[in-house]
Structure 1
């Protein structure tokens, strides 16, 4: 995940304090700077807008004013629901994508360490969904290739910090764009999205690159096993294909992570449903 103070590799795991402007105009300027560098710029993901955006309905800004940080609303104002990099990455309408999110999370709700309401703010051409929790921020991602839900315990722990909340609002786009370019790797060890784009062409706002035989059923992670499919039907079906794995890299490595961030190694991160 990207960090407002550096390149794509530093991420939210770098908890070094970064000053966040208090003035709304300066906040918007910082958001523009980060997006220009880490999403659009050649030093970041390097993904150009496609020019196919639909504007965000004005009522969304009122509806989500107390749910999303200003940084997200600024991105909405600037781009609308837009595609980038010939469809490799998309800013998504959270209302339109809500049924897909529900399909994935309802079946694992009793296994998640948090209870929250999640909204899909961006996604990849491979169907990765980058979510925002109303009480936990950018704490969960859905990865259909490996049929897993990935939890970010550090995002959960730091959400109440207003500065981190604004940074997470940018990260849901910048780290999502990075992931959309680089992941998943195919069986040949090379990023699969670029191979799919070259072989199959771009996807539109309602499409993804879907596996003919899903990996969970033994299919190869290769461009030969991909086709362009309806995103909503495919991702709903993927959620029903088999057991969804909960991936919690921070929780699993807490003994190593805690000293790095100055936390108590004996005080494990959120482990019980309902805690946030």
Structure 2
């Protein structure tokens, strides 16, 4: 899945091709910090506090973000994420199906996954785990690349999305990406993955095993990388960091680029230049 971090306007009138269906030009980001915070608060209310589409209400178990984190990450995270940290803390949602994570505490796990494949990534960056789901999917923010990388521990895969890569100079895009990151990831991944019958696995585990805490995940007894089934019968509650570290060592980690060679087909739809991918554009900014 690809999170869309730019608001859509109404379809353009009179067009007939795919590019005429949507105008992906973002609404300008306000320059007033108070207005920025108001937009972030509105997204928090809509996506996390009282979501209409899914039962992802806050659990009320949040650990406050240490004050020194706001200084440490002031230059690498957008204001919208820092606001969400201060507003919600390291909170769980939907009875533990989704969590805002402590990036310092999760740094060793991220290292275990990224270090073996550093030379395979299309760029070098420092990544922080800002959120994860109950199965251990980790959603990363790159200090220089923003919200473009996530870790799938079930299929031992690192997914890179060049459409959501925004460098530090792309401040407005990073603010919008930070504003929708937690709600977007929760909506798209709180119920991932599906089992062999295409039923969401985390809700089954929640019913069978109960909720996980901030340092736990639903882990496979026999990992899929070793032939275990993706089934609730193969799950247990286990320590998150230990389990995910072991998962990184079970088999080769692959890099997935959902856009990749499809950029030429995607670009006209979103009114972009087919000759220049977001990866090269960001590298030049």
Give the structure-2-normalised TM-score. Answer: 0.88
Q: Distance in 1 between matches of 2:74 and 2:57?
A: 27
Please state how far the C-alpha of 1:180 moved relative to its aligned partner: 3.3
2:136 corresponds to 1:134:
no
- In structure 1, the partner of 2:268 is 259
Q: Which residue of 1 aligns with 2:28?
A: 19
Question: Which of 214, 226, 243 does residue 234 from structure 1 map onto?
Answer: 243
Give yes or no for contact 2:128–2:140 (8 Å, CA) kept in 1: yes
Distance change >3 Å, CA 141–CA 45, structure 1 → 2: farther
1:234 alignment partner, SS class: helix
- 2-structure distance, mates of 1:53, 1:150: 28
| 1:194 partner SS | helix
1:22-37 equivalences under 5 Å are 22-37=31-46
Tell me the CA shift for residue 26 of structure 1: 1.2
Normalised by the size of structure 1, how large is the TM-score?
A: 0.90
Q: Distance in 2 between matches of 1:157 and 1:71?
A: 15
Question: Retained in 1: the 8 A contact 2:45–2:51?
Answer: no
Classify 1:240/1:257 alpha carbon distance in 2 versus 1 (closer, same or farther; 3 Å). same
- 2-structure distance, mates of 1:126, 1:257: 30
Partner SS for 2:130: strand
Does the Cα contact within 8 Å between 2:148 and 2:165 map onto a contact in 1? yes
Aligned-pair distance for 1:14? 8.0
Which runs of no fewer than 5 residues in structure 2 stay unpaired?
A: 9-21
Q: Which moved more, 1:97-106 or 1:187-196?
A: 187-196
**Corresponding position of 2:178:** 169
Change (3 A) 1:67 1:268: closer
Segment drifting more, 72-81 vs 155-164: 155-164
Deviation at 1:188, TM superposition (A): 1.1
SS of corresponding position for 2:165: helix
Residue 158 (structure 1) shift: 6.8
Q: Larger deviation: 37-46 or 93-102?
A: 37-46
Q: Aligned partners of 2:110, 2:205: CA distance in 1, in Å?
A: 24
1:59 to 2:68 alignment: yes
SS of equivalent to 2:259: helix
Say whether 1:74 aligns with 2:83: yes
* CA contact 1:130–1:142 (8 Å) conserved in 2: yes
Larger displacement relative to structure 2 (186-195 or 44-53): 44-53
Q: CA deviation at 1:95?
A: 0.3
| Cα-Cα RMSD | 2.1
